[in-house]
Structure 1
């Protein structure tokens, strides 16, 4: 079993690294040096920078957009369905002790792709073997797993839509600092959670604060509630009654709590797993298989 290694989560905007010695994380670092922010630098130089002072003669396992066409090496996607534990045997080696984890794809009339989430999903499944995983973020993944086999998954652009509406649309124009208010979030959530129309509701957010019926500081919470409610309503139609699944939410505590609140309104109990912990567990599993 390999216990000394470096785990790398390399996305579009951020880069995070963890050093493991004797199976224990002894240091972690992060940089705003995602694949879209290379500024002409080669990924090899950035990897050298973020691991400076660390022992480099150990396995370095990287996942995320580093394996995309814009990254270090364009690593082919693995087709779905896929046994999660098979991922470790399909890494792409780019240097003597450096590997990239492949992403996963879905073909047919519901095409989809993921990079990085497959590693997080592997770790989450090993922590809590569920049948449906919800992985919120800029693009939220919903993944159906049966007996350790990833059957299919969907992507919903909820986080990105929230950002665009709040920062680059008429709805979010000239707004003050936004507040956090769970009740406002819940009220908006209930407008779309049971199948209410999303598109008309979005403009009504602006109309409400123009007419003085809602605080301008509450727009972010309203948008969050409307979008998450609509997302879950659509995924409920796609995956059937969510109550029939064991559901695990893999996310930061703050974002995960929003999805947990929404699912609870539908009578769905869900486990809440920390995304970072799941990712590191996934890398640990891959490293162990690599050493066998």
Structure 2
């Protein structure tokens, strides 16, 4: 199976799949059939429809929210600290699709008095990222950003920051978004927001200023989204820099969508934090290949 298989990243809102034959990606598909957007279908039905795209069946390895209590099968978490090499040893087989071979990758959790956290899907990206760009700290931007602390190949701790979701909620379901015009990109407003977020220890004190600034004409109504995005990302970076300080001269690795990653890169540059970038899809596919290779051993 090591060179021919199907990899699936099945999250809450999207599903992405890649078909590998003899080590080469020969086809891929992306849809909005995430586990929260099945439109009355079961995960098994969506899976069957996807497999019908390819006449010749191959073994399938899936990761993400498909293994959550809202997904297909609830796959147990591996507790921190955990070595990345242990993930491949704890896959859960999906027996409803026999004779086709399919497995779901486990998530990872932290369960302590000072930190309760879970991840699903990111562990697969981390496996691929560690193989390509080893680091003591990884940043995974997104709706729920992850900051992951490593010791060698062992994941020892991580935190989740709801920056993306908070931006959406504030802009669309709070007073901040009332009376706005169509939002347009505004790099200057974004940078100003970053600077404010990086300098503020208590973010709650600055949120209402987002509304006050555009009401008083100090901020263009069309630039509120970019200002708020900068404020939130800047403050996230400032808080996590204090939580997970890097050793002198070390660089963290940012894993994710290049467009969103660039926003974080701007914040990291302003904060004086060295960093490297890695595309999230590349990291995921590399991680799945490592898991598949472990299955063969």
Which stretch of structure 1 is more off in the superposition, 193-202 or 89-98?
A: 193-202
> How much does 1:197 deviate?
3.2
Where 1:72 maps in the other structure, the secondary structure is coil
1:72 and 1:122 map into 2 onto residues whose CA distance is 23
Where 2:213 maps in the other structure, the secondary structure is helix
1:236–1:242: 8 Å Cα contact kept in structure 2?
Answer: no
1:275 and 1:44 map into 2 onto residues whose CA distance is 26
- 2:109 alignment counterpart: 105
> How much does 1:186 deviate?
1.2
The match for 1:234 among 211, 235, 239 is 239
Which stretch of structure 1 is more off in the superposition, 275-284 or 187-196?
A: 187-196
For 1:141-156, list aligned pairs within 5 A.
141-156=146-161
2:94 is the counterpart of 1:94: yes
Where 1:8 maps in the other structure, the secondary structure is strand
1:176 and 1:56 map into 2 onto residues whose CA distance is 51
2:248 and 2:255 map into 1 onto residues whose CA distance is 18
The count of aligned residue pairs is 292
* TM-score normalised to structure 1 length: 0.96
1:243–1:268: 8 Å Cα contact kept in structure 2?
Answer: no
| Large movers: runs of 4+ above 4 Å | 241-244
Deviation string, structure 1 residues 184-214 (Cα, Å, up to 9, x no partner):
1111111121334321221111111111111
2:182 is the counterpart of 1:177: yes
- 1:220 alignment counterpart: 225
2:7 and 2:164 map into 1 onto residues whose CA distance is 25
1:57 and 1:113 map into 2 onto residues whose CA distance is 32
> How much does 1:45 deviate?
1.2
2:15–2:33: 8 Å Cα contact kept in structure 1?
Answer: yes
1:193–1:233: 8 Å Cα contact kept in structure 2?
Answer: yes
1:243–1:267: 8 Å Cα contact kept in structure 2?
Answer: no
> How much does 1:23 deviate?
1.0
2:22 is the counterpart of 1:22: yes
- 1:283 alignment counterpart: 288
Which stretch of structure 1 is more off in the superposition, 100-109 or 257-266?
A: 257-266
- 2:274 alignment counterpart: 269
2:197 is the counterpart of 1:197: no
1:138 and 1:107 map into 2 onto residues whose CA distance is 22
What runs of 5+ residues in structure 1 fail to find an aligned partner?
none
1:135 and 1:57 map into 2 onto residues whose CA distance is 33
* TM-score normalised to structure 2 length: 0.94
CA 1:72–1:183: 2 relative to 1, 3 Å: same
